[in-house]
Amino acid sequence: MHRVLFALIITSLLITSNRADAAPRKLVLIGDSTVKNGQGRGDGGLWGWGQVLQPHFDVDCLVVENRALGGRSSRTYLTEGLWQRSLDSLRAGDYVLMQFGHNDGGQMFDGDRPRASIKGNGDESQDGVVEATGAEETVHSYGWYLRCYIADAKAKGAVPIVLSPAPRNIWRDGKVARASADYGKWAKEAAEQAGAPFIDLNEIVAKRYEEEGQQKVAGDFFTAADHTHTTRAGALVNAECVAKGIRGLEASDLSDCLLAELVKVSYSVDFGGPSGDAIRTPAVFDAGRGHGFEPGASVEFVNASAGHACVGDGAFAYSFVVPDGNWLVEATLGSPEAATKTRVEAELRRQMTDEVATEPGAFETRRFVVNTRTPAIEAGGSVRLKPRERGSEAAAWDRKLTLRFTGERPAVSRLSVTPAPDVPTIYLLGDSTVADQPEAPWASWGQKLPVHFRDDIAVANHSESGETVRGFWNARRFDKVLERMRPGDWLLIQFGHNDMKSTRPDALKEYRNGLKRAVEETRRRGATPVLVTSMERMAGVEKDTLGAYPQTVRDLAAEMDAPVIDLHAASKALYRDLGERLPEAFQDATHHTDFGAERLARSVANGIGRAVPDLASHLKATTVTSP
């Protein structure tokens, strides 16, 4: 047996960026439906690559603004005034990505879609009368319109970048049909003539499709009825190819805003073991390596005949680089030498396991699903985070999955992290009484709820302190949730504590309308909304403190035939039952301790058992709920 004791002493360096206080630059996208399909919400299961491009960029450096519009050609994007509106939004230092070509063929003046440009990159033009409108118009070449966009963007101090059109799902002799003899060629010529960078997206994507194979491309990236527009999976691949093209540009600093490529999305880590790749030193987290200890860990590595482990003098944390999503974690806990007591938390103190006690040489394995997120919104922009969400609450939004091990001599022997894309997700939306609290003894029912569920579902707590329904919409927090939501998911929403503080005469109506909109948008995505009345404050044992807000939720639930968890009523009953122990449940007059949050989480689980039977089927057998 050998043992090594380490203590990490980390010195933090303050690095000041020249851009730290400046607004992020914009990446304006112009193009057709292969860039933005429909309203940009995935209607009909079709997506453009611009709708999922933002997660490739650091939102503090660059924000994607998708101004593409379906059905437009290089010509009609200009003549309909769309380019002028895009141009007006540009600032010096911004970027423009342009991709046209799919709609540049067809009729020039006749019919119901007169949008064709002249083929090529020449300076010739053709005069005519548009049959549908009677308007006279001079039509130019495809390349001429691209050169026009390039010149205008440069005049505003922006950086234009030309892309060849993404390929269709058309194959010839086992190869994807290229645009290298027409629109891809002309796009390159226009870029060279006007002095703009060029990305041959057509070729990059075509090669990727060929690597994936015709069957997978047809089945996953496109629908049977449409060889031009991509599914979400296809849009994600095309967006990856756009990012790859940007990385390959020689004379552009746009790549500086790209996030590092994720080359690994699953991990298996042994602590203290004999294998060559086992972790035997407390290496601090390194994004390039993909995992490591968070600063401050004081740990001991033990390797004996009975097994191996990493044992902490106190709480310690270990992180993995991952993108947004759900992740199945398997944690083997215990030590070969000593009795241990370990509880696992994830991200911002979300409780994933109860305390696991092991005797010397004994190990127990726990499985659970962790949801991770970043502020980026696929369609462009990001959630407007509060300063504390970039500081003490950063673990809720960073590009990592962080596991924290607490208890008396916490110990972990092995960790595995694998994607869990098919498990459903419970989204929690609310205020500080639901939000993951960064520091004990503050706690909420939202961060205590995950421990009640099995490993076949994820809990994604998007709640934030100080928020209202109105504020949630304005900060684009709802946008982030709705873009991730899938059929079969659930939304639990509880607001009221901060909403009731508004002095606006229509505050209660606004509150109700905001909740109603959340219910409607959730249902539109095939998910199930569950309304939750706010728990009472400590003074609410004797007299209600939330006014008409709880009843408004009950009435709305009845009107919309939505499930409701009456946490307001349940909390009053809980507080009465606690009797003299009631102060132990509160950190102040409103917020709860671990003790209070744990009991409220059980009340929510109880409410799920009564009101949401489909969701209740995911609860652990040890979580006893009342019928």
Catalytic sites, residue numbers: 33, 226, 229
The full 3-state SS of 224-277, as one line of letters, equals CCEEEEECHHHHHHHHHHHHHHHHCCCCCCHHHHECCCCCCCCEEEEECCCCCC
Cα 413 to Cα 4: distance, rounded to the nearest angstrom: 15
* Amino acid, single-letter form, for residue 1: M
How many Cβ atoms are within 10 Å of 472's Cβ, its own excluded?
Answer: 25
Reading the block at residue 270, the tokens are 């042994």
Alpha carbon distances (Å) from 603 to 132, 452, 543, 586, 609: 64, 11, 20, 16, 10
CA distances from 202 to 4, 31, 127 (A): 54, 14, 31
Which neighbouring-strand residues pair with 129? 136
**Within 13 Å of residue 545, how many CA atoms lie on the same side as its CB?**
16
CA atoms within 13 A on the CB side of 620: 16
Q: Quote helix, strand, coil % in the chain, to nearest 5.
A: 30, 25, 45
The alpha carbon dihedral of 334, 335, 339, 345 has a sign of: negative
Residue 392 makes CB contacts below 8 A (sequence gap 6+) with 438, 439
DSSP 509-563: HHHHHHHHHHHHHHHHTT-EEEEEPPPPPGGGGTS--STTHHHHHHHHHHHHT--
- What is the rounded CA–CA span in Å between residue 413 and residue 279? 10
Structural contact between residues 545 and 568, judged by C-beta atoms closer than 8 angstroms: no
Give me 414's structure tokens: 């092995």
User: CB-based contacts of 157: which residues, under 8 Å, 6+ apart?
Assistant: 90, 91, 92, 93, 94
Cβ contact 381:359 at 8 Å: no
Residues 6 or more apart in contact with residue 608 via CB below 8 angstroms: 530, 565, 615, 616, 619, 625
Q: Which two tokens stand for residue 578?
A: 């606690």
DSSP H helical ranges for 63-141: 76-79, 82-89
Radius of gyration of the chain (CA): 28
